[in-house]
Amino acid sequence: MKHITIVVPDCRVNVNTIGGAYDILRQANEYWKQAGHPSLVNIEIAGFASEVRSHNGYLAIRPVDIRQIRQTDLVLIPAVLGEYEEAVRQNQELLDWIRLQYKCGAEVASMCSGAFLLAATGLLQNRACSIHWNKVAEFERMFPGVQIATGKIITHENGIYTNGGAYSFLNLILYLVENLFDRSVAIRCSKVFQIEVERTTQSPFTIFQAQKEHDDELIQHAQTYIEEHLDSRISFEKLAVQLAISRRNFDRRFIKATGNTPVAYLQRVKIEAAKKELERGRKTIFEVMMDVGYTDDKTFRDVFRKITGLSPADYRSRYNKARATA
């Protein structure tokens, strides 16, 4: 029998990730037993804190004392709700315990922003990590030695698992269920808990941030120009001349400030505008395409799919309540 420990850090956590992981793993074990197999897992919720409450105070978890658990086979770290540096400072004893368990052969998985605690153990150094798309900047600032697996829902490397945020932790738990039990149990859980199986990317859910948290005023002017001329054909050669800078230096400073080339930034701004139109409006895909400055249907669809992982039609079908037809 394998022992699974869902740890409870001494900080603000998303208790739903604790309860959700526990419920799915427990139910998976029940399905396994119903199929005639002996019980496969023993799941405990444990920590150094005597109690952890949800952010609204309505739900409380009273973990067992983690010092009673000398060895486990799988450690699950729940999502942390902000104040990540403080969370790391408050949980040094827990981080030491996780490091020791991994050294003794346990696997370790973080759910969403639980990756901040996992990274603080040092176990992610020079390894890939999936993190919610809106936590990437802060994560990179705190842990520059960890490689971000951009857009991925799940990473798995040398017994270390991470997942890309919010309720996609459910996809991670399904992944673990398949590894612990088998494919049939994972599929059964996906149907009963109504979790989309085989989800691999965050791309459809990503909201493009304007990347203006820098102090290069010239590049900020360029970004504003791009955003105000989405329906136009923008020449970066001409824009560089207007800003009194060479194209080479313009590209270099743009990449340094935003992390994107000017062309990639333009594409992402256009597609973000197109996504909003598709979500809220009744315009045809052709009209949306023209609104954001594309004149070639194939190019628009290719760029849209590259950034979101979906075609414009599929994206609208999924996120527009009106479900207008093109």
What pLDDT was estimated at residue 205? Answer: 45
Boundary of a domain, candidates 179, 202, 225? 202
My answer on whether 89 and 166 are in the same domain is yes
What pLDDT was estimated at residue 308? Answer: 83
Of 125, 135, 37, residue with least CA distance to 81: 135
My answer on whether 29 and 144 are in the same domain is yes
Dihedral over alpha carbons 315, 318, 321, 326 (to 10 degrees): 50
User: How far is the C-alpha of 1 from the C-alpha of 29, rounded, in Å?
Assistant: 11
Burial class (CB in 10 A: 0-12, 13-18, 19+), 187: middle
We report the CATH number of the domain holding residue 236 as 1.10.10.60
Boundary of a domain, candidates 158, 175, 202? 202
Q: Return the CA Rg of the chain.
A: 23
My answer on whether 165 and 25 are in the same domain is yes
User: How far is the C-alpha of 155 from the C-alpha of 169, rounded, in Å?
Assistant: 12
My answer on whether 188 and 225 are in the same domain is no
What pLDDT was estimated at residue 324? Answer: 41
In a domain, 19, yes or no: yes
Q: Provide CB contacts within 8 A for 314, sequence distance 6+.
A: none
My answer on whether 185 and 223 are in the same domain is no
Q: Residue 97 sits in which domain range? A: 2-202
We report the CATH number of the domain holding residue 37 as 3.40.50.880
My answer on whether 184 and 266 are in the same domain is no
My answer on whether 239 and 163 are in the same domain is no
* H-assigned helices in 44-182: 84-90, 92-103, 115-120, 136-142, 169-180
Maximum CA pair distance of the chain?
75
My answer on whether 160 and 305 are in the same domain is no
In a domain, 171, yes or no: yes
Of 15, 67, 73, residue with least CA distance to 46: 67
What pLDDT was estimated at residue 198? Answer: 57
Report the predicted TM-score, pTM, of the whole model to 2 decimal places: 0.65
In a domain, 325, yes or no: no
My answer on whether 154 and 262 are in the same domain is no
User: How far is the C-alpha of 299 from the C-alpha of 214, rounded, in Å?
Assistant: 31
Boundary of a domain, candidates 202, 230, 256? 202
My answer on whether 188 and 224 are in the same domain is no
DSSP string, 219-267: HHHHHHHHHHTTTS---HHHHHHHTTS-HHHHHHHHHHHHSS-HHHHHH
In a domain, 207, yes or no: no
Mean pLDDT of the chain: 86
Three-state SS string over the chain comes to: CEEEEEECCCCCECHHHHHHHHHHHHHHHHHHHHCCCCCCEEEEEEECCCCEECCCCCCEECCEEHHHCCCCCEEEECCECCCHHHHHHHCHHHHHHHHHHHHCCCEEEECHHHHHHHHHCCCCCCCEECCCHHHHHHHHHHCCCCEECCCECEEEECCEEEECCHHHHHHHHHHHHHHHCCHHHHHHHHHHCCCCCCCCECHHHCCCCCCCCCCCHHHHHHHHHHHHCCCCCCCHHHHHHHCCCCHHHHHHHHHHHHCCCHHHHHHHHHHHHHHHHHHHCCCCHHHHHHHCCCCCHHHHHHHHHHHHCCCHHHHHHHHCCCCCCC
In a domain, 208, yes or no: no
What pLDDT was estimated at residue 268? Answer: 87
pLDDT-flagged residues of the chain (< 50): 202, 205, 207, 324-326
In a domain, 241, yes or no: yes
In a domain, 117, yes or no: yes
User: How far is the C-alpha of 268 from the C-alpha of 74, rounded, in Å?
Assistant: 39
My answer on whether 31 and 148 are in the same domain is yes
What pLDDT was estimated at residue 183? Answer: 78
Number of domains, the chain: 2
My answer on whether 53 and 144 are in the same domain is yes
In a domain, 211, yes or no: no
First to last CA, the chain: 55
